């Protein structure tokens, strides 16, 4: 996927800050680690007492090329140094109907790389407040990101300020720092003191030597997923077609995308 970089605003990006403890860490309890089948992890964010938003490709196994049973996924809200604010298993999971896990990497793949997980039980802990969602930012806007990743899987890291570089065919290209395991992490803006998720991390890429992150659109895709859950979809089907995960910007044979051991 061709990405055109038209700004040098990334020089003002904030450094990553590990959220081990304190008031700042407590503010992000709704972001958690998704443990997947005991073999990998992604990042997810609570957007309602029973709903977690993440990337669709997190729900596919890179070896079998098949959908992962939601029963094998666990959401650890606010996971920090061996403890979580809440532990929840997954009851159902829906991925965007236009998301394809095989074939040529494209903006359409990233744009639809969105999944919604329904927890077995809602999280009604007073210290864990679901995050709101908001309108897509524009190029040049400041955003932030909270994620888990390789070498920082035991506590989330916060990058308070990174930059929207451009939008292409519904894909948000940002300067936010991501790594393996960051998939599904919320990219956010702050409006009137309140955090709003505006995108979800799909992949990382390198363009002209610059590291960038690629985020999915929310808006209509999220509304579609919510409607699918209301319609009763998301029940695991072991006979479903297997598909292969690839990393944007990599050869199709490289399946190490965003599914790594913590």
* Residues paired with residue 142 on neighbouring β-strands, in sequence order: 163
Q: Is residue 197 part of a domain?
A: yes
- Tally Cβ neighbours within 10 Å of residue 83: 9
- Which residue, 2, 12, 16, 45, is CA-closest to 196? 45
Q: Is residue 22 part of a domain?
A: yes
Q: Is residue 4 part of a domain?
A: no
Please tell me the predicted confidence (pLDDT) of residue 39.
78
Domain residues for 219?
Answer: 9-230
CATH number, domain with residue 67? 2.40.10.10
Per residue of the chain (262 residues), give pLDDT as tens. 444 444 344 447 899 999 998 898 999 999 999 999 877 999 999 999 999 999 999 999 877 778 999 999 999 999 999 999 999 999 999 999 999 887 556 787 899 999 999 999 999 999 999 999 999 999 999 999 999 998 899 999 999 999 999 998 889 999 999 998 999 999 999 998 999 999 999 998 887 788 899 999 898 899 999 999 999 999 987 654 433 333 333 333 332 333 232 3
Rounded to two decimals, what is the model's pTM?
Answer: 0.86
* Residues paired with residue 92 on neighbouring β-strands, in sequence order: 118
SS3 228: helix
Q: For the chain, what is the domain count?
A: 1
Please tell me the predicted confidence (pLDDT) of residue 91.
96
């Amino acid at each position: 996927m061709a990405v055109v970089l038209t700004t040098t605003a990334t020089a003002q990006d904030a450094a990553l800050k590990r959220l081990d403890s304190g008031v700042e860490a407590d503010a992000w309890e709704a972001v958690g680690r998704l443990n997947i089948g005991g073999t990998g992890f992604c990042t997810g964010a609570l957007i309602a007492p029973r709903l977690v938003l993440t990337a669709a490709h997190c729900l596919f196994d890179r070896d079998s090329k098949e959908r992962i049973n939601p029963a094998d996924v666990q959401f650890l809200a606010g996971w920090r140094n061996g403890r979580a604010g809440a532990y929840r298993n997954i009851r159902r999971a829906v991925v965007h109907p236009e998301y394809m896990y095989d074939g040529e990497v494209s903006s359409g793949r990233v744009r639809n790389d969105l999944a919604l997980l329904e927890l077995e039980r809602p999280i009604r802990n007073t210290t864990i407040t679901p995050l709101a969602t908001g309108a897509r930012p524009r190029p040049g806007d400041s955003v932030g990101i909270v994620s888990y990743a390789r070498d920082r899987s035991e506590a989330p890291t916060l990058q308070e300020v990174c930059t929207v570089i451009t939008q292409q065919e519904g894909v948000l290209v940002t300067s936010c720092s991501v790594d393996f395991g960051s998939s599904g992490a919320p990219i956010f803006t702050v409006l009137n003191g309140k955090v709003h998720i505006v995108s979800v991390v799909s992949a990382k890429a390198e363009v002209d030597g610059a590291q960038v992150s690629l985020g999915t659109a929310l808006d209509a895709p999220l509304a579609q997923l919510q409607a699918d859950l209301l319609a009763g979809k998301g029940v695991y089907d072991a006979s479903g077609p297997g598909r292969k995960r690839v990393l944007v910007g990599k050869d199709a044979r490289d399946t190490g995308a965003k599914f790594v051991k913590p």
